[in-house]
Amino acid sequence: MAMGHAVVARCMCAASALLCTFGLLGCGKEPTPAPTPAPTPAPMPTLKLTNGVEMPIMSAGVWQYTPEEAEKSVEAALRAGFTHIDTAYDYKNQEGVAKAITSAMKAGKKRESIFITTKVPGCGMQNSSAVSSDACKSDTATRIADDLRQLGVEYIDLLLIHFPPCPGEDGSPQSPMKSKCFADRSGCSQQKSCDMVKAQWAAVSEAYTNKKLKAVGVSNYCSACLACLEGQKPFPMVNQVHFQLGMGPDPQGFRTLAEKKGVVLQAWSPLGSGGNGSDPIMHGNLTTQLGKKYGKSPVQIALKWIVTKNVSVSTKSSNPDHLAQNLDIFDFELGADDMKKLDDATFAAKDEPSFLCRDKAHEPATTEAII
């Protein structure tokens, strides 16, 4: 009988050890709880363009990056959850963007899940001639082909004309600031400028008709430039301009004009200072106080102010944490009183939406960026 008790005891100990192994019995300590899954980020809103294309409201830009830096930045952006990448012919880094997108597709992402925006130069600058309308149209078609080749894609989701033309220039100025049109920012006020706008748009429209472009638009276009395209089909669907907190809610009427024309406004350098961030945004009392109120950073407050106005925004960072923080603005809403406070901020009132044209008398721009 004693032997029987010993056998039972040994069996019970063995069973207890087995249960401990599988964490089914306390055995002197609590089982390790399963890790709490990371919260799913709020989905990124889209803006519907006039042709029905849904454009993610926020993009990750690669201005001023080398091809290698652009590749790493886009890889980090896609990992963070970005679905919209912004580049341009004159950034000279599209091969790096292409490598990152190709890698993502090899890892399982579908091409249609990545919205690609790129740009062609305004005629007269950056290897696009404006000595004649024919030269402008031909060079624009070539630059579109260059974009497709450099990005390694069969189609581009959104192609923009980067800035207004500069008639008479042969394409040799490698920056709009080095063109003869920069000093007075006359934009499209002359008939020759309008002729170039129409010629360039004809090349863009042909590529759109041939399904090489899903959507088309412009950048840094003021009302005179858009007026040159009145009645055109398609009409520009997007106008990417400088728009940031501190410029007011409707600088030079650009936002009102876009809404009137059914054009989506898109913000470059949304944090100011050519994409490097302005001190009043990054460290100012207004954004800092509101950040504390909403549990967000000053940058997130500034970006939220923009997208709340249904303005698309092109951000830029190579820092994975900053990329994730930029995306983390869709889980809260700014109150009406706080939006009014942000609307009334004027620390960037001298900055202009376009660097080659202006819609009314305005002091010279303080921002020196061309992105």
Q: Which residue has the tokens 């581009």?
A: 156
Taking residues 38-45, what's their average pLDDT?
71
Cβ atoms within 10 Å, residue 259: 14
Give bridge partners of residue 217 from the DSSP assignment.
160
In the chain, what percentage of residues exceed pLDDT 70? 85
State which amino acid sits at residue 56.
P
What is the pLDDT, as a whole number, of residue 23? 41
> pLDDT over 90 for what percent of the chain?
77
pLDDT of residue 12: 44
Q: What is the pLDDT of residue 176?
A: 84
What pLDDT does residue 356 have?
Answer: 86
Q: What is the mean pLDDT of residues 52-73?
A: 98
pLDDT tens per residue, range 229-277? 999 999 999 999 999 999 999 999 999 999 999 999 999 999 997 767 7
What pLDDT score does 40 carry? Answer: 61
Confidence tier at 353 by pLDDT (50, 70, 90) = very high
Known catalytic residue at 65: no
Tokens standing for residue 250: 């409707």
The 10s digit of each residue's pLDDT in 289-310 is: 999 999 999 999 999 999 999 9
Residues 201-237: tens digit of each pLDDT: 999 999 999 999 999 999 999 999 999 999 999 999 9
Residue 326: is its pLDDT beyond 80?
A: yes
Predicted confidence (pLDDT) at residue 19 exceeds the cutoff of 70: no
Contact 286, 341 (CB under 8 A): yes
Note the helical H segments in the chain.
2-21, 67-80, 94-106, 133-151, 191-209, 223-227, 254-261, 279-283, 285-294, 298-308, 320-327, 336-343
The helix/strand/coil state of 357 is strand
Q: Tell me, what's the pLDDT at 32?
A: 54
Phi, psi of 210 (to 5 degrees): -85, 10
Q: What is the pLDDT of residues 150-181, one digit of tens each?
A: 999 999 999 999 999 999 999 998 888 888 88
From the CB of residue 226, how many other CB atoms can be counted at a distance below 10 Å?
Answer: 21
pLDDT at position 99 is 98
Mean pLDDT value across the chain:
88
pLDDT at site 20: 42
Query: How confident is residue 49, by pLDDT bands cut at 50, 70 and 90?
Result: very high
Name the pLDDT band for 186 (thresholds 50, 70, 90): confident
Phi, psi of 368 (to 5 degrees): -105, 15
Place 97 in a pLDDT band, splitting at 50, 70 and 90.
very high
From the candidates 91, 155, 208, 221, give the one annotated as an active-site residue.
91
Q: How far is CA 193 from CA 206, 224, 233, in A?
A: 20, 10, 19
Sign of CA dihedral 329, 326, 323, 68: positive
**Residue 315: pLDDT band by 50, 70, 90 thresholds?**
very high
Please state the rounded mean pLDDT for residues 89-98: 98
DSSP state of 22: T
Q: How far apart are the first and last CA of the chain?
A: 90
The pTM of this model reads: 0.86
